[in-house]
Amino acid sequence: MKKKILIIEDNEQNLYLIRYILEDCGYEVFSATDGEKGIKMASSLLPDAILLDIQLPVMDGYTVARNLRQNAYLADTPIIAVTSYAMPGDREKAMESGCSGYIEKPIDPDRFAAQVEEALTMKDDAKEVE
């Protein structure tokens, strides 16, 4: 069964590239273009991982991550911030809001799938421990 990845990203070019890389690696990819839609989609889809832009319309990624963490069904889902916010303290702010990983844009197409797989492996390891 293909693993489901939800991308919450408003930039069409970034969304296209991320979708292309992940689908090429065999993932089932879904997307939302703003924070509010992303929360609704995540709640119904229950993806294996969520890739979250921080600078989004309607609701920023920090708020989205906090909201997702309040949903018991998504509490252990890896949320990876994929963002151009790369100033000192930005990674920490993303992690404090509920993200479990952080990838700076522009993404490295040669490494991106491995970074996502690493987040999914951490989730699978957590399941085995329970």
User: Starting from the edge strand earliest in sequence, which strands make up the sheet with 101-104, in order?
Assistant: 28-32, 4-8, 49-52, 79-83, 101-104
Structure token digits, residue 13: 């070019």
Distance separating alpha carbons of residues 9 and 15, to the nearest angstrom: 6
pTM of structure: 0.92
Overall domain count for the chain:
1
Instruction: Kindly tell me if the per-residue pLDDT of 127 is higher than 90.
Output: no
Q: Does residue 65 surpass a pLDDT of 80? A: yes
Domain of 50: which CATH number? 3.40.50.2300
- 50 close to 79: Cβ distance less than 8 angstroms: yes
Please give the residue range of the domain that contains residue 19.
4-129
- pLDDT at 130 exceeding the cut of 70: no
- What average pLDDT score do residues 61-77 get? 96
Nearest-CA neighbor of 105 among 121, 94, 117?
Answer: 94
Dig out the tokens for 107 from the structure: 């993404």
What average pLDDT does the chain have? 91
| DSSP 3-state of 41 | helix
81-116, pLDDT tens digit by residue? 999 977 888 999 999 999 999 999 999 999 999 999
Q: Would you state the pLDDT for residue 123? A: 61
For 115, the token pair is 């970074």
Task: Determine the pLDDT at residue 85.
Answer: 79
